[in-house]
């Protein structure tokens, strides 16, 4: 366990903004993680648990309490056979993409489409990380957490985690801290069905086809790089939180209004990018809404914060941006989409000391 004072948080986040933490504690074991949290809670001090920093926007004033940085490690294969597949438990502090790379190498099927997503494994169940037709909820078997209210370790089966689109019972509350995540994965040489049209096109296969796991991973990484979604210190398009807004899920009536406004603004033959949702509603592409509300790729490039030049859904730091700069851009985009389509976008990253 390492402790430091007045550490700038900008260097610990992929957006590269944020003021100092009054106190930063870095923990490398699960026991130390629990002990550090208990110490702060017993002292009744403010606490921020920081994972990989890829889904958080921290205020320029910093955090006036203790930040516990999770750096735990360990991947434990509890079973792996042809009948039941692989049951694997991963420490919260393990690199998510590192785990996906190992899964592909080992022939563990179910997370290959989630390649290239930055951050740590412990953060993935919180917002039910997903991409290219896969979500972690599809393979998570259980999540072990520290319950700060009851001061004890709890184990939650996947069915009890409240997983929905980019959400879980752990999101929007600081009660639970993820200690490790267990995955139930199939054993095979081929990927799960390719569910995303652009990914299938990149692989030159039809939607629903299966391909060798390594090919699926490479294709996903290529798609993400083309959108500036694979971290690269030299590429300011990757100085972001990834997708800043979630795809809104609207009612059938609301979607009809979006279609009507689109016809009025752009013409009757312009299709709205959308998908059916299991809830009975319609999931509309936030990137489509942003772009067709007048915010194209690179919007705001004259300032320190702008939309990515590769993808309208990412708000980026062009160098020297502050959290206030990023938030101002987010508010402008959100207001523009609401005015154009009557849809209010919701931020995906966690805002620390900030409100949108």
| Residue 100 backbone dihedrals phi, psi, to 5 degrees | -60, -40
Q: Which helix (H) or strand (E) holds 48?
A: strand 47-50
Q: CA 23 to CA 47: how far, in whole Å?
A: 10
Structural tokens at position 117: 């997503």
Helix ranges restricted to H, the chain:
30-42, 96-106, 197-203, 213-226, 252-266, 286-291, 323-341
Answer yes or no: 291 catalytic.
no
- Name the catalytic one among 166, 169, 227, 334: 166
How many residues make up the chain in this entry? 356
Contact 268, 253 (CB under 8 A): no
* DSSP code at position 272: P
Answer yes or no: 166 catalytic.
yes
- Name the catalytic one among 243, 293, 306, 308: 243
DSSP string, 1-30: -EEEEEEESGGGSTT----EEEEEEEE-SH
By annotation, the residues acting in catalysis are 166, 243, 348
């Amino acid at each position: 366990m390492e402790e430091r004072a007045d550490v700038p948080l900008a260097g610990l986040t992929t957006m590269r903004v944020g003021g100092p933490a009054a106190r930063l504690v870095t923990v490398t074991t699960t026991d130390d993680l629990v002990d550090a949290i208990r110490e702060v809670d017993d002292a009744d001090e403010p606490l921020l648990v920081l994972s990989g920093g890829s889904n958080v926007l921290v205020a320029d004033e910093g955090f006036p309490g203790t930040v516990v940085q999770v750096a735990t490690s360990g991947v434990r294969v509890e079973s792996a056979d042809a009948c039941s597949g692989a049951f694997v438990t991963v420490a919260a502090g393990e690199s998510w993409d590192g785990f996906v790379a190992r899964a592909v190498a080992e022939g563990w099927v179910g997370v290959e489409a989630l390649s290239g997503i930055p951050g740590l494994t412990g953060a993935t169940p919180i917002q039910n990380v997903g991409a290219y037709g896969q979500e972690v909820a599809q393979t998570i078997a259980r999540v072990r957490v520290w319950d700060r209210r009851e001061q004890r370790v709890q184990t939650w089966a996947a069915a009890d985690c409240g997983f929905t689109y980019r959400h879980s019972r752990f999101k929007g509350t600081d009660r639970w801290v993820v200690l490790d995540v267990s995955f139930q994965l199939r054993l095979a040489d081929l990927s799960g069905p390719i569910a995303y049209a652009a990914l299938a096109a990149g692989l030159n296969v039809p939607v629903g086809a299966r391909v060798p796991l390594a090919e699926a991973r490479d294709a996903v990484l290529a798609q993400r790089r083309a959108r500036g979604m694979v971290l690269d210190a030299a590429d300011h398009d990757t100085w972001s939180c990834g997708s800043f807004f979630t795809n809104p899920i609207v009612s059938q009536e609301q979607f009809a209004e979006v279609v009507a406004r689109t016809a009025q603004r752009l013409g009757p033959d312009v299709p709205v990018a959308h998908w059916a949702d299991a809830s009975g509603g319609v999931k509309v592409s936030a990137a489509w809404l942003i772009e067709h509300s007048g915010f194209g790729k690179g919007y705001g490039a004259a300032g320190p914060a702008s939309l990515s030049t590769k993808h309208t859904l990412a708000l980026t730091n062009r160098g020297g941006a502050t959290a206030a700069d990023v938030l101002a851009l987010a508010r402008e985009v959100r207001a523009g989409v609401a005015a154009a389509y009557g849809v209010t976008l919701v931020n995906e990253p966690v805002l620390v000391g900030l409100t949108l």
